Amino acid sequence: MTNGIRFLVSDGVGYGALFKAHVLPVIKYLPESQISDHYEPGYINVSLSREAFPKAEVFMHHGISDKLYRETSKMMNYDTVFVPGPAWRDKLVYQGMSPKRIHIIGYPFMDEIFKEPLSRPPLKRTADYVKYGIPTDDMKKPLVVWAPTHRGTAVVSSQGRLNNVINNESWITKETQHPVYSGFFFRDILPLADVVVADSGSTLYEAWAYGVPVVFPSWLIKDSILGVWPNSFEAKIYRERLGWHANSENELVDMIKQAIKTKNIGSGIEPFMEGIFPQSLRGCSGKRAAQALTEIATGGC
């Protein structure tokens, strides 16, 4: 037995709100758990960031992208590692991690979005456009959300590199930046989107999980992805061309139009996403994470 469960949340570089958005769907099922800004011995401490909390009993990442962030060699200071789906478990086991250290919990951050209707009533849609700074002058046009990953590793981000092509009279464009800078989460604008243009971050997986087509600027990003993160799930996406992959600016425009028209997310995406974030855990990941933490705290595993 332990003294309880503590979620380690630091507001360093403005990440506090993001961390809390990941833990609140879990705390909902663990009313006696705590949020803390420091590690405390005797508790089940849950870290969401290697940089902020490099040692804890449990690691639960604050995103769903790979980027080689939770490799086995980088998880040595955590007793247990939470992952979104079986593909992550298989990868870590292949790298030498004991399967006993791994719990598949889904992605609690997106629990609430799966309770949202896929089509919002006109008044609600208008209110959301205003809330997120989307032009409302022609709401009959499709909405294309450009969601580049943050520029921590600039070569794998499309931020600032599609300005001349992403705006088009055929659709409304909304660029979303990392929530640290934008003040809101991509998941909250996702139900409004007809198509997402993404590159290498959590946004591409979130869009696919919700059933929204993703178009990739492959001519800009692919080589960098394969060079920087060759063994990542992002590399697999570009190598196998999962989703819509454009080889030029003109092709990007054409593919966005096709994706809007067909609403097709692409062949091979559904089985791929079952490994990344299974359908059975979408909308109930917080509950599954709480169950896993309860088992750990009571010595059940």
What does the pLDDT read at residue 192? 94
The answer for residues whose C-beta is within 8 angstroms of residue 280's C-beta and 6 or more apart is none
Q: Is 67 exposed, middle or buried (0-12, 13-18, 19+ CB in 10 A)?
A: buried
Rounded CA-CA distance 37/180 in Å is 18
pLDDT tens profile 99-147 = 999 999 999 999 999 987 666 777 788 999 999 999 898 899 999 999 9
pLDDT reported for residue 27: 97
How far is the C-alpha of 57 from the C-alpha of 103, rounded, in Å? 13
- The span from the CA of 215 to the CA of 219, in Å, is 12
CATH class (in words) of the domain with range 112-276: alpha beta
pLDDT at 84: 98
- Output the pLDDT for position 56: 97
> d(Cα 200, Cα 180) in Å, to the nearest integer?
17
Would you state the torsion angle of the CA atoms of residues 11, 63, 108, 70, taken in this order, to the nearest 10 degrees?
-110
Domain ranges of the chain: 5-111+283-297, 112-276
The residue behind tokens 């097709």 is 264
- pLDDT < 70 stretches in the chain: 1, 12-14, 117-119, 151-152, 300-301
DSSP state of 148: P
Q: Is 60 exposed, middle or buried (0-12, 13-18, 19+ CB in 10 A)?
A: buried
Which H/E stretch holds residue 56?
Answer: strand 56-60
In percent, the amount of the chain with pLDDT more than 70 equals 96
Read off the tokens for 97. 């991690």
